[in-house]
Amino acid sequence: MYDVIISGAGPAGSKCAEILAKSGFNVALIEKDTSWRKPCGGAVNSRIFKYYPQLRRMDFHRINGIKIYSADFHNFEYRWRDIMDYSLHVDRLKFDNFLRDIAVDAGAELFDNNLSYDFITKENSRIGIKTKISSGIQEYKGKIIIIADGMSSKLARKSGLKKQWKIEEIGNAKCAIMEGENNLDKEVMSLFFKSYKGYGWLFPLEDNKFNMGCGIIGEDNLKYNLNQIYREFWNDPNIKKFFPKKNYRKIWEGAYPLPSQGVLEKSLYGDNIMLIGDIAGFVSPISGEGICASVVSGKVAAETAINALEKEDVSKQTLKNYKFNPTIKKISRGFKLTLSLVDFCFENQGQNLSKMFKIAEYDDDFREKLVNMFLFSEAPSKDFIMKLKSEK
């Protein structure tokens, strides 16, 4: 019997497990495969250091600039060396295992190669989870169950909190870690927005390595083939100028879905259960960055669980504090406002994004808010939106 069972040992699950274990609770951290690399661009903004100061000692690639291209290749660039803290580009395999190790060092018990697939129930109440392992079925019992196992979570659907994803609720992306001589500015992350709802990216890594990929958002998943736009992105002459050689070594490649509608506020909690990370929608609708928001969701869920366990009340009446936590509400509100800008950005075959960049060239306040929206998923202010819509 554990105090808390966490299904999924990504950034959200690991942070949740760390905080609970540090507080003296027995935590089972369930992971399907610690050798699996989550397909992801791997960009992490500087706010991560608030939750993981240990990352400053690691050799992850440091970023001090961003360059964003509209569909017509009008671009906006911002550099922040000596202005604010650096961001990171990480390999998710190394990064996720680093966070897991911190949780284990704090006292969480990690169970690898366990695929969560169902709940253990008693008298119509959830009392644990069942996992598939190489030798058969394993059972884990606990007072609180936290689901952090991503978009494909079987537990989330069986909990009744989350129905099957609709196509307009997701984005689909494909990426690769490549190696070879390139002309990328090693301090700058580059985003390439398209005339359809989607974008590509080029993120430099160490030793001539880089992460490249692209994605489609919402209903445009029905109109475009991901593999085709992935090939077109890599072969685009505007992209090829960064890569003077003909042959590049593909170290790894993968595809993945991600939520595109912001935090799923109606699906966050129930009796003795909470959803965190990707499965709960903690991903920015405009940039696709979700690591920091997911870590925050794990932190708040842990604090909510601690309060519930101390009160010996794990009902949804107590766990609702997770949803109504001021930080979670701020993230939810910010993603809602950002989502309202997504359609606008892609209208007129992406011309509205060019409009944003042109305003940013002469308006310092607008430029700062634009950078914060893309880097830190901050909600656009009313002044920002009014300026954007009034500009001819």
Question: Residue 67 domain-assigned?
Answer: no
Question: Where does the pLDDT of residue 365 fall: very low under 50, low under 70, confident under 90, or very high at 90 and above?
Answer: confident
Question: Each residue of 2-45: pLDDT tens digit?
Answer: 999 999 999 999 999 999 999 999 999 999 999 999 999 999 99
Question: Residue 74 domain-assigned?
Answer: no
Do residues 194 and 49 share a domain?
Answer: no
Question: Each residue of 123-169: pLDDT tens digit?
Answer: 999 999 999 999 999 999 999 999 999 999 999 999 999 999 999 89
What is the Cα–Cα distance from 242 to 250, expressed in whole angstroms? Answer: 16
Lowest mean pLDDT, pick from 32-46, 52-66, 72-86: 72-86
Question: Where does the pLDDT of residue 364 fall: very low under 50, low under 70, confident under 90, or very high at 90 and above?
Answer: confident
| Contact by Cβ (8 Å): 71, 349 | yes
CATH of the domain at 213: 3.30.9
- The predicted pLDDT at position 114 comes to 98
List the Cα angle 254/18/134 in 5-degree steps: 50
Last residue of a domain, which of 257, 287, 310? 257
Question: Residue 156 domain-assigned?
Answer: yes
Domain of 327? 2-61+86-167+260-336
Give the pair of three-digit tokens for residue 266: 């109606």
Do residues 141 and 229 share a domain?
Answer: no
| Contact by Cβ (8 Å): 66, 191 | yes
Cα 176 to Cα 62, 65, 241, 306: the distances in Å are 19, 21, 18, 39
Question: Each residue of 180-197: pLDDT tens digit?
Answer: 999 999 999 999 998 889
Give the pair of three-digit tokens for residue 297: 């969701």
- The predicted pLDDT at position 360 comes to 84
List the one residue out of 189, 387, 368, 217 whose CA is nearest residue 286. 217
Question: Residue 288 domain-assigned?
Answer: yes
Last residue of a domain, which of 257, 281, 301? 257
The residue written with tokens 């005339």 in the block is: 195
Do residues 310 and 186 share a domain?
Answer: no
Lowest mean pLDDT, pick from 25-29, 185-189, 277-281, 343-347: 343-347
Does residue 376 carry a pLDDT above 90? no
What is the Cα–Cα distance from 39 to 93, expressed in whole angstroms? Answer: 9
Last residue of a domain, which of 257, 286, 321? 257
CATH of the domain at 141: 3.50.50.60
The residue written with tokens 């950078």 in the block is: 371
Do residues 199 and 157 share a domain?
Answer: no
More confident residue, 248 or 337: 248
Average pLDDT of the residues in 185-213: 93
Question: Where does the pLDDT of residue 392 fall: very low under 50, low under 70, confident under 90, or very high at 90 and above?
Answer: low
